[in-house]
Every structure is written in structure tokens, then in C-alpha cells.
């Protein structure tokens, strides 16, 4: 029987069987603007751990049309290196109403392209972290930028940036002076991001790294004037990872 459950709509659908089943609760809205890139890694890791214990996983949302189908597709893409179309066709065979929203589709297409290329999957990625979810403590990260792309010459103080380098097994979290995180939740942000980054590195490095290195997630505050934690040092790290400042 079912041993593990991914509840994509924990805000509106209660997890009734937490005493007997292992849950991964997510608070995800079914809108094209919702970001699922980091969540895909969390679900893939949850499913892999369940299967390693001979468990069976149920992934559900409210209607079984967009959110749950998207994550099932993500698991197929990451575990079997399927293309977006092949994963979509596979899910549609057993769930004819499968219809992820346009935003989820575009993120899944990028996810699939990443896993079908060894170079792309290990390439550094830059995320803009907009907030930390109230219910789960998870980071909400906007679209990611790949290496060899242009980035600002000066970092935007209104935002927080997460740089993940799977090939190096490391991650950096830059906090702008006027961002929400700089005011009240720096430690909470780091605590929420570390397991996510560790999972991403473990999956994307394909076993080369088991997670974050000994230094953990390095936090760089804009207002810190020390040589090792300045904005200029973060820009230098970006350049080392293949980014070009414009």
C-alpha cells in the first residue's frame, strides 16, 4: 500500500494520515507565476528516499490536473532522463486530464533540458530568492539564470540571490541591505535554504558530491565590509562560475 504522500495543496487540503504515512507538505498555488524549480528537487529526493525503502508514493493536489501531474513528470524526468514530451505522454496515458499550467510547463521543459545534458545539470545557477514561505519555511525562488549569462555589475539591494554550483559542491546566499531577509529572517533563510541546496547539489552532481561541503551555505551580507563577505567578492564568485557582468 501507500507509505509516502506528497500533498501539493497542504494549505487547503489537510494531511489526515500523518500518524501512519510519511508526508511531504507543499503550499503551492496553481498559477503560471508559481515557481517549482527548487520544489522539483525536493519531490524527486523524497520519492527516491521512499523507493529506496521499498515504499510507494502518492502525489496529489486538488483536481489531479496541474500540480500533482507536474511533479510526477519531474520525477520521471530526473530519474529516467525523459524529455518533457515523453514525460507528459507517459503521465497522460494513466491520467488523461493531465494539463500543467503554462508556467509549470516552461519550468519542466527547462528541467528536462538540464537533465538531458551532463554539462547543463552541473552548471552553476543563480536564483533570486523573493521570500520564505510562512507555512513551510521553504524559500520562494524566482527564475534561475545559468552560467555564461550576463548579470548586473552591481547587486540589487532589494533582493537576495542564491548561487548554487553543483560541480563544486557549494552554495552562496547574498542578502541585500533592503531585502526582507536582511530585516528579520537571515538565520531562518539560511536554515531553510541549506537542505534545499544540499539536495540540489546531490542530485545535479550525480553522486560526485553528497551535498554541501564543510563550509555549508556561505551567507554574504551586503552591509558586511569584511573582505570575504562583500558584494564585490560575490561578483568575483559569479565571474569564476562563468557569469559575465554587464
CB 245 within 8 A of CB 151: yes
Q: Which of 61, 151, 160, 241 is catalytic?
A: 61
In our burial notation (b when 16+ CB lie closer than 10 A, e otherwise), range 96-126 reads eebebbebbbebbeebbebbeeeeebbbbbb
Can 61 be counted among the known catalytic residues? yes
Q: Taking the mean position of all CA atoms in its chain, how far away is CA 18? A: 24
Structural contact between residues 135 and 116, judged by C-beta atoms closer than 8 angstroms: no
Q: Nearest to residue 178, comparing CAs of 152, 154, 160? A: 160
Per-residue DSSP letter, 62 = S
Structural contact between residues 245 and 235, judged by C-beta atoms closer than 8 angstroms: yes
Query: What gap in Å lies between CA 23 and CA 41, rounded to an integer?
Result: 16
Kindly compute the dihedral angle of the four CA atoms of residues 68, 73, 75, 77, in this order, to the nearest 10 degrees.
Answer: -160
Whether residue 77 contacts residue 61, with contact meaning beta carbons closer than 8 Å, is answered with no
Residue keyed to cell 559569479: 238
Q: What are phi and psi for residue 154, nearest 5 degrees?
A: -130, 135
Which residues are annotated as catalytic? 61
Amino acid at each position: 500500500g501507500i507509505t509516502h504522500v506528497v500533498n501539493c495543496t497542504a494549505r487547503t487540503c489537510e494531511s489526515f494520515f500523518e500518524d501512519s504515512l510519511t508526508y511531504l507538505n507543499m503550499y503551492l498555488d496553481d498559477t503560471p507565476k508559481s515557481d517549482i524549480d527548487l520544489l522539483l528537487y525536493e519531490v524527486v529526493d523524497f520519492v527516491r528516499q521512499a523507493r529506496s525503502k521499498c515504499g510507494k508514493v502518492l502525489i496529489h493536489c486538488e483536481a489531479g490536473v496541474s500540480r500533482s501531474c507536474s511533479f510526477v513528470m519531474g520525477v520521471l524526468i530526473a530519474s529516467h532522463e525523459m524529455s518533457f514530451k515523453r514525460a507528459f505522454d507517459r503521465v497522460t496515458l494513466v491520467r488523461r486530464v493531465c494539463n500543467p499550467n503554462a508556467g509549470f510547463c516552461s519550468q519542466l521543459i527547462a528541467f528536462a533540458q538540464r537533465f538531458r545534458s551532463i554539462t547543463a545539470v552541473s552548471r552553476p545557477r543563480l536564483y533570486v530568492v523573493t521570500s520564505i514561505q510562512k507555512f513551510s519555511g521553504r524559500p520562494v525562488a524566482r527564475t534561475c539564470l545559468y552560467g555564461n549569462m550576463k548579470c548586473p555589475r552591481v547587486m540589487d539591494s532589494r533582493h537576495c540571490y542564491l548561487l548554487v554550483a553543483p560541480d563544486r559542491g557549494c552554495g552562496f546566499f547574498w542578502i541585500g541591505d533592503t531585502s526582507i531577509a536582511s530585516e528579520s529572517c537571515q538565520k531562518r533563510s539560511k536554515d531553510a535554504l541549506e537542505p534545499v541546496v544540499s539536495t540540489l547539489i546531490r542530485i545535479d552532481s550525480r553522486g560526485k558530491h553528497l551535498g554541501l561541503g564543510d563550509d555549508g551555505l556561505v551567507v554574504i551580507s551586503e552591509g558586511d565590509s569584511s573582505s570575504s563577505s562583500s558584494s564585490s567578492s560575490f561578483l568575483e564568485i559569479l565571474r569564476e562560475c562563468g557569469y559575465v557582468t554587464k
